Each structure stands twice: as C-alpha cells, then as structure tokens.
Amino acid sequence: MKTRLGIILLAGILSTSAYADEKKSNILSVHVLNQQTGAPAPDISVILEQKSASGWKQLNQATTDKNGRISAMWSAETPTAGDYRVIFKTGDYFEKQKLQSFFPEIPVEFRISDVNQHYHVPLLLSQYGYATYRGN
C-alpha cells in the first residue's frame, strides 16, 4: 500500500513538473471568441512572426481548437525579447460560414520584454470589427 501511494505521488509530482516545464517553455497562447455568437471560434489559422531588421520571419503556424484556443503557440525556438505579431486568418473562418467579413486577416503586434512571463493574446471577433488585449 505504501509503495503504491509513493508511486502515485511520484507520478503526480512528475506530471505537474512536466506541465510546469511545458508552460514555461511555451510562453505564448491565443484565444479567439466570436463576439456575435458568444462562442469560441475553432479552425482559425494563426501565424506567429518575429520582427527583424530585414522584415518579418515566420516562427510558427497553428489552428485554433474547438474552444478557439492555441495553448502552445510558441515555436521550438528559444524565446527572446523583441517585437512579434500573430496574424489571425479570419477571412477563411467567415467564408466557411458563408458570411462576409471586412477583415480577411487580423495582425496583432506585441512586444515580449520578459521571456520568463506568459503572454496571452485574445481576440474578440465579429464580421466587421475586433478587439484584443493582453490576457493572462
């Protein structure tokens, strides 16, 4: 009984540690909510880019899940301070719903100053407008 309890506790500690390491190494997440319906916006392609002297460099591309989230948007590269942007490909999302939209894509620029923090970029979306902010 004591051995089994020890194994269960050790497994819990290791899984918690692995989750903490994953969260620390992946410092960026995004979330898209359709403001018109109040529902998450699944299947939106999102591109992460880093600004450099020669322009924008793509680091990653992912798609929002059924909850409108990408919990691990950061690429495999080690995070560095600097200017970044995520580009939400919203035109395709509305086209699939047979709805018109004024914004075919929404770029959101932001600055990462502390790579030890987590950055969350939520997008509240409608056909003819959007809002964003730094979430947590």
HEC-encoded secondary structure of the chain: CHHHHHHHHHHHHHHHHHHHHHHHHCCEEEEEEECCCCEECCCCEEEEEEEECCEEEEEEEEECCCCCEECCCCCCCCCCCEEEEEEECHHHHHHHCCCCCCCCCEEEEEEECCCCCCEEEEEEEECCEEEECCEC
Placement of tokens 């950055």 in the chain: 119
Class for the domain spanning 27-132: mainly beta
- Could you read off the pLDDT of 94-112 as tens digits, one per residue? 999 999 999 999 999 999 9
Delimit the domains of the chain by residue range: 27-132
- Could you read off the pLDDT of 16-59 as tens digits, one per residue? 344 344 445 589 999 999 999 999 999 999 999 999 999 999 99
**What sign does the CA torsion over 83, 120, 68, 35 have?**
negative
Once rounded to an integer, what is the mean pLDDT over residues 59-77? Answer: 94
pLDDT above 80 (res 76): no
* pTM, entire model: 0.80
